[in-house]
């Protein structure tokens, strides 16, 4: 009954090699309507097994048309990403090993490689290699875990007593911080209302003096400030909060400092981008995602902490059936609410070994240069304008035809432009809002994205603008 390993993996390998060589010729954005795939699939599971050829044929027939191709060089929305060949090969090994690293003993290699490779990653970014590191599925989980540890440090015993009757904890981040900060507050029982969003400056950076004032005011009103989330590379504009000044406010007020560098943290493998992580060595916890901009397949979010004991105090709980007799070993389940974990470190290990820090820095540099070049074309154009600085590989801009100055009309025009560009199937951009202005958001993060891709994007944009009129 059991199909042959080699035969199946050969089929999968052939399928993948063909797919990855052709992906650039597929529409970036899936062209199907909601329900299309559901309608094609049997409503009930098969009673009898089918031959492998049938499943693989359905990947082409049913899955591919309904995939939005994050691998397409023209995928320039959100944060462009790359599942590089070494990362994917390692992930296959991980799937096949199929270990569960809840305890050191249940897979020493998983536990120790995760520690070592995360230390490599921290060092590659110029951060302390001595930090404790672990891999989670998403930055949302990493930030939730970090703020849970911060909550327990602020109010020891909350894990047992709960928050009912506790002082009203408050948490700070900038207006531009990611929604995962709110979601963490929701899950942790703190409440969104206790997430104080500190105003950002003209360049979308948290204003530390306004942070200090908010903390001071909250204390006077009986709240208990306990943590700040600073962002290095915000989701919309990739702005960098002034972490050294924020860290100082945290030090003075004994607040936990968590840094969300999910996207931009990896840029610091290139020394010229280390400035962005200034002050981060003072953080209590720090997250950066190799699955965003270090060419590692999803899912790989790296959570670092200078306070591993705070995580243990927040999360460790060892039932009898999970006790071990191994002294001096880290059991990763003690640092998280998740018990089981997949062997995710392998893929990051292979990425470092394949490219080396120099090779990784080269790719980062190329991506930033492409974004800067694109920004230059915008600035030289009379009909487009930049809406934010471009410190990394993301450009926020809008179509601004001469004479069209009503904000609502501009938003509508840009929405139509975006829709037209994305409907082409050749490139894909996303959108955001910056200071109330609707912005088109172009992000370079795919290894296959080159100058031709960015030129094509510019052509699609200007061509769609011409077709839509005004200019």
Question: Any contact of residue 35 with a second copy (CB under 8 A)?
Answer: yes
350 neighbors 357 (Cβ within 8 angstroms): no
Stretch that binds a second copy, among 214-222, 375-383, 401-409, 427-435 (CB under 8 A): 427-435
148 vs 279, which CB is nearer to a second copy?
148
Restricting to residues 272-331, name those near a second copy by CB under 8 A.
291, 297-299, 314-315, 317-323, 325-329
Question: Any contact of residue 346 with a second copy (CB under 8 A)?
Answer: yes
Q: How far is the CB of 19 from a second copy (least distance, A)?
A: 7
Restricting to residues 96-155, name those near a second copy by CB under 8 A.
96-100, 104-110, 112-113, 115-116, 119-121, 123-124, 129, 137-141, 144, 148, 151
**Token duo for residue 163:** 């928050």
Residue with tokens 């999970």: 322
**Token duo for residue 242:** 């002034």
Long-range contacts of 452-457 (CB under 8 A, 24+ apart): 453/73, 453/74, 453/76, 453/427, 454/370, 454/373, 454/374, 456/74, 456/426, 456/427, 457/74, 457/76, 457/374, 457/421, 457/427, 457/429
Question: Any contact of residue 353 with a second copy (CB under 8 A)?
Answer: yes
Restricting to residues 204-233, name those near a second copy by CB under 8 A.
none
CA distances from 100 to 110, 142, 259 (A): 8, 19, 29
Among 199, 271, 356, 376, binds a second copy (CB under 8 A): 356
Stretch that binds a second copy, among 94-102, 302-310, 380-388, 457-465 (CB under 8 A): 94-102
132-136/195-198 β-pairing: unpaired
In SS3 terms, 344-386 reads as CHHHHHHHHHHHHHHHHHHHHHHHHHHHHHHHHHHHHCCCEEE
Restricting to residues 434-453, name those near a second copy by CB under 8 A.
441, 447
Among 254, 337, 407, 452, binds a second copy (CB under 8 A): 337
Among 73, 74, 78, 232, binds a second copy (CB under 8 A): 78
Question: Any contact of residue 468 with a second copy (CB under 8 A)?
Answer: no
Cross-strand partners of 228: 172, 257
Question: Any contact of residue 62 with a second copy (CB under 8 A)?
Answer: yes
CA distances from 453 to 20, 74, 115, 367, 449 (A): 16, 6, 37, 12, 6
**Token duo for residue 457:** 């994007």
191 vs 401, which CB is nearer to a second copy?
191
Q: How far is the CB of 213 from a second copy (least distance, A)?
A: 22
Q: How far is the CB of 414 from a second copy (least distance, A)?
A: 13
Q: How far is the CB of 109 from a second copy (least distance, A)?
A: 4
Q: Which three-class secondary structure state does DSSP give residue 227?
A: strand
């Amino acid at each position: 009954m059991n199909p042959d390993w080699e035969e199946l993996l050969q089929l999968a390998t052939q399928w993948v090699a063909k797919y990855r060589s052709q992906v650039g010729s597929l529409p970036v954005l899936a062209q199907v309507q909601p329900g299309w795939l559901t309608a094609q699939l049997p409503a009930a599971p098969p009673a009898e097994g089918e031959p492998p050829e049938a499943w693989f044929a359905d990947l082409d027939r049913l899955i591919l048309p309904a995939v939005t191709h994050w691998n397409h060089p023209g995928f320039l929305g959100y944060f462009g990403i790359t599942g590089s060949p070494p990362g994917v090969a390692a992930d296959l090994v991980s799937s096949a090993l199929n270990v569960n690293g809840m305890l050191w003993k249940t897979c020493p290699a998983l536990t120790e490689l995760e520690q070592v490779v995360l230390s490599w990653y921290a060092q590659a970014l110029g951060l302390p290699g001595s930090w404790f590191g672990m891999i989670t599925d998403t930055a949302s989980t990493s930030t939730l875990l970090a703020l849970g540890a911060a909550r327990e440090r602020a109010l020891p015993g909350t894990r047992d007593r709960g928050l009912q009757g506790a002082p009203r904890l408050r948490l700070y981040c900038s207006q531009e911080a990611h929604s995962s900060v709110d979601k963490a507050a929701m899950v942790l029982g703190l409440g969104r209302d206790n997430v104080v969003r500190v105003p950002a400056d003209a360049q979308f950076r948290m204003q530390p003096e306004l942070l200090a004032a908010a903390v001071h005011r909250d204390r006077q009103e009986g709240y208990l400030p306990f943590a700040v989330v600073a962002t290095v590379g915000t989701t919309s504009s990739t702005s960098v909060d002034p972490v050294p000044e924020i860290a100082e406010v945290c030090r003075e007020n004994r607040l936990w400092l968590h840094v969300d560098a999910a996207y931009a943290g990896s840029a610091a493998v290139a020394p010229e981008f280390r400035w962005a992580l200034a002050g981060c060595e003072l953080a209590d916890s720090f997250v950066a995602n190799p699955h965003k901009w270090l060419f590692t397949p999803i899912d790989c979010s790296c959570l670092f902490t200078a306070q591993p004991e705070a995580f243990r105090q927040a999360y460790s709980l060892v039932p009898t059936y999970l006790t071990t007799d191994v002294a001096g070993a880290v059991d990763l389940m003690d640092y998280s609410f998740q018990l089981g974990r997949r062997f995710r470190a392998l893929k990051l290990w292979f990425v470092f070994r394949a490219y080396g820090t120099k090779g990784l820095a080269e790719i980062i540099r190329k991506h930033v240069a492409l974004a800067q070049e694109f920004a230059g074309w915008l600035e030289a154009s009379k009909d487009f304008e930049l809406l934010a600085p471009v410190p990394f590989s993301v450009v926020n801009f809008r179509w601004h035809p001469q004479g069209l100055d009503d904000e609502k009309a501009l938003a509508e025009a840009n929405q139509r432009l975006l829709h037209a560009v994305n409907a082409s199937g050749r490139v894909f951009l996303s959108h955001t809002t910056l200071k109330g202005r609707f912005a088109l958001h172009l992000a370079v993060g795919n290894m296959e994205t080159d100058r031709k891709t960015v030129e094509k994007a510019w052509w699609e944009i200007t061509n769609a603008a011409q077709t839509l009129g005004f200019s």
